[in-house]
Structure 1
């Protein structure tokens, strides 16, 4: 029988619906899928058979009976394949290997500093190769690699500008695909962080949130109506380069007075050197936090100032987007103890009253690698979508 394009499209949509119900409601019976989806039992049975054959789902022991035979229950096979997610920082590469539901199997962290693109590429490949070697046996193997990069990334996955890495017009996606021959997604790391927080972190229950990635630079990922907002060309969220002082410091982006010059990890480290804390030429965030814990007032004052400056930019974001939630993530989230009171008090003092109604200000859970999980989820979802496009006649 000839199958029309419309019939194929309807079947793909129905198959996607069935798989989505199994993923979100495992274990679930065929009868419950039919009831919740509105599809007839024959259609559900046929689609379930395909998903079983493709090893995307599996059957478990019988469930509770509501009268008659106990139903066979269906579960998502989250170990059918594995995804790799990399958070490419300015001075670190953090990678995770996850199953198809975002559970971390293994992770790897590599630190680096002032490396060329070629050296950084070697480190990226080192992390990816380690994660691949750690993957358990599965029907589909590594289904994709996601990389969150700190810069402007277009919809084709090219890094057009990453000022803090010193990169311009880098096709990282092509470089990695040529080596590993699997689909690669390159996304702005703040967008990846927002998606990771929405799916796995404190953003689960919010449909309007902004994730502020405060590391060496600052970026933002925006979730609107439950979906990641990328902007017209995919360049949204470059809030670190919004001007908060038009006569201010010159930024490496070419602008003056950019927010990240006053409120980022790099701003903190630069200020610590200027005030010559302990006569050291080089300091780390970890060392500064240790000194703050030991009661060193000069360091505490610097951290509090960073908190105030961070709040200034966040106030602009609140007034622009009216979100339900702001999540402060990346490395400065580790300094929550000193930053949070300043952020909260500054927002309370300078945000319009009706913009403060019900808004939540949260800091990322340091045990949740939001950006790496976000891009790993993108890869897993793309794999499942591509499998569902392979419609059987």
Structure 2
């Protein structure tokens, strides 16, 4: 009989139950944890003390009494460690340092002018090192790094294909682990954005949602039944390469007529060039100032965005579609066009309960989701899952 092993496993499971209760419902007393979990009070008290000894839970003082002695309340100690999230864009690197509850401590952003790996990697490393330097002292230190990238990523964290960066077969996870010596998670930027909005933004509590990341290209993060859907090989979500024009323009991916050629920030900037505008910021300023040609252009981009979203709605029947990344800043000028196109092109039953929202975290969805990858991986380890 493996009694010792069995007892250790039971303790791991029970510790995970207690920690999860505190994470979700704090402040809680020991008695409340016992009631919610079904574990007896002595077991709960022992496990809580272990969590306190491991710097993960702290006592905050007395709570409300229900007749007897006031209970001592417990909360999770978010400052026990820190995580770094990175959004590696086509023309920017954005990074945040968060505590273990996902609260942003500090951030950093820089522009990318070239896509060559030998130019981008030093800037990526500099960004991470600056965030580490800003990290307060804590029991667990840096628990991990999450990085969202605009491309197809395999299970080993290799970037197989990032057409808008012109990268292929880049072992980014291995490179980052070797440099920083902590767990690293690499995923598609839109998947990270979907996780960010589900955890901290407009997608909280929504079971079926599609996050549409609209930047230089378009990517999507698909959440079904509250779980990120990644497909058979982990490559789902490349809906920016839906064909919306049968004999359309050639795309860097090798296809023709891809959605992102007509509805992305890049498409907007190409069409804005004859108007004398070269970046999103100046275009939005012109729209704010009432420039009719710019407002009409944004409306056309919004309509093209809505066409692709209509296809997504007809396929997945989500409760919510969330538009994020840089183009979410144009919501005042593209929102109506998006909604009108979706209304015209979706099946009536599919749009009955549909909401089209813009990311609550604005351009921060992916970077916050990337940090959450690192945090959640730490919790899996703490709870005994590896």
Q: Which bracket does the TM-score occupy, shorter chain normalised? A: over 0.9
Cα contact 1:201–1:368 (8 A) shared by 2: no
Which residue of the partner structure matches residue 107 of structure 1?
107
Which residue of the partner structure matches residue 357 of structure 1?
352
Cα contact 1:333–1:366 (8 A) shared by 2: no
TM-score, with structure 1 as normaliser: 0.95
Cα contact 1:217–1:266 (8 A) shared by 2: yes
Q: How far, CA to CA, are the matches of 1:192 and 1:45 in structure 2?
A: 37
Summarize the alignment of residues 183-332 of structure 1 with structure 2, pairs less than 5 Å apart: 183-273=183-273, 276-278=274-276, 283-332=278-327
Which residue of the partner structure matches residue 387 of structure 1?
382
SS of residue paired to 2:86: strand
SS of residue paired to 1:332: helix
Which residue of the partner structure matches residue 43 of structure 2?
43
Cα contact 1:148–1:186 (8 A) shared by 2: yes
Q: How far, CA to CA, are the matches of 2:385 and 2:175 in structure 1?
A: 27
SS of residue paired to 2:46: helix
Which residue of the partner structure matches residue 128 of structure 1?
128
Deviations 1:317-356 (A, max 9, x none): 0001000000000011111111101001111112111111
Deviations 1:140-198 (A, max 9, x none): 11100000000001122111100000100111111111111011100111000001000
Q: How far, CA to CA, are the matches of 1:250 and 1:332 in structure 2?
A: 23
Deviations 1:186-225 (A, max 9, x none): 0111000001000100111311000000000000001111
Higher mean C-alpha displacement, 60-69 vs 114-123: 60-69
TM-score, with structure 2 as normaliser: 0.97
Q: How far, CA to CA, are the matches of 1:26 and 1:353 in structure 2?
A: 42
Deviations 1:216-250 (A, max 9, x none): 00000011111111111110100011111121000
Q: Say how many residue pairs are matched.
A: 386
Is 1:369 the counterpart of 2:364 in the alignment? yes
Higher mean C-alpha displacement, 19-28 vs 101-110: 19-28
SS of residue paired to 1:369: helix
Is 1:143 the counterpart of 2:149 in the alignment? no
Which residue of the partner structure matches residue 94 of structure 1?
94
SS of residue paired to 2:17: helix
Q: How far, CA to CA, are the matches of 1:317 and 1:221 in structure 2?
A: 11
Gaps of 5+ in 1: none
- Cα displacement (A) at 1:294: 2.2
Gaps of 5+ in 2: none
Which residue of the partner structure matches residue 77 of structure 1?
77
RMSD: 1.5
- Cα displacement (A) at 1:68: 2.2
Q: How far, CA to CA, are the matches of 1:140 and 1:366 in structure 2?
A: 27
Cα contact 1:212–1:221 (8 A) shared by 2: yes
Q: How far, CA to CA, are the matches of 1:153 and 1:8 in structure 2?
A: 36
Cα contact 2:194–2:221 (8 A) shared by 1: yes
